[in-house]
Amino acid sequence: MATCAAAEWKLKRYGRFIPGSGEAGGKPWKVYEANGKEPGISLQILDSGLLLVMQGDESLDAMPLLCTSNSLKVHQKSDNLMFRFTVRTSDGKVAGAEPGVVDGSLSIKRLTQHFMGGTPVTLPQVYQHSSLAQVDLEPILRMCLLDPSFPAFVEKVEGELRKMLEE
């Protein structure tokens, strides 16, 4: 998968707090380790303003950095960083079938299936909080539709998505 990463760091370990899991006798943290058996873990800050944590081609977390300043807090202690991210929005629903709720990581293939209409899922809240969703799309769409190369671009995007589904 090609990303437009402005910065990338390799991680030894990545942990995600699972709210409510400690109450049921489970572990409150899901920890991912970079070892010889699993693909490496990386933290990337994309040009689009998204902080992305990946293990191989699987997305462990994605956080929009272009949100209000009170929704993201970062604390450093030694060589450890703790990100506290809060989103006060509700998950969206996909019309038609009852979507599966994604808890934890989401693979690129499953995301592609979702956006191609194959597997409806309720996406994690970070996907509901997008800076693009707040942009007036009409001028952008008019510009795209007036560009004679736009239909070929759309076909190329669809072809790439289909390739990702086959992987």
Tens digits of residue pLDDT in 120-152: 777 666 665 556 666 677 777 877 887 788 888
Rounded mean pLDDT, 111-117: 77
Residue 89 has pLDDT above 50, yes or no: no
Residue predicted with more confidence, 81 or 10: 10
Q: Is residue 106 part of a domain?
A: yes
Q: Is residue 159 part of a domain?
A: no
What is d(CA 94, CA 99) in angstroms, rounded to the nearest whole number?
6
52-84 pLDDT, tens digit per residue, is 888 887 888 877 776 556 667 788 888 888 877
Three state DSSP letters for the chain:
CCCCEEEEEEECEEEEECCCCCCCCCCCEEEEECCCCCCCEEEEEECCCEEEEEECCEEEEEEECCCCHHHEEEEEECCEEEEEECCCCCCCCCCCCCCEECCCCEEHHHHHHHHCCCCCEECCHHHHCCCHHHCCHHHHHHHHHHCCCHHHHHHHHHHHHHHHHHC
When divided into structural domains, the chain yields a total of 1
State the pLDDT confidence band at 50, using cuts at 50, 70 and 90. Answer: confident
Residue predicted with more confidence, 96 or 126: 126
Q: Is residue 150 part of a domain?
A: no
Q: Is residue 49 part of a domain?
A: yes
Residue numbers of the domain that contains 45: 5-135
Residue predicted with more confidence, 104 or 149: 149
What is d(CA 67, CA 49) in angstroms, rounded to the nearest whole number?
9
Q: For position 156, what pLDDT does the model report?
A: 92
Q: Is residue 157 part of a domain?
A: no
Q: Is residue 105 part of a domain?
A: yes
Q: How much is the mean pLDDT over the chain?
A: 74
Q: Is residue 48 part of a domain?
A: yes
Q: Is residue 154 part of a domain?
A: no
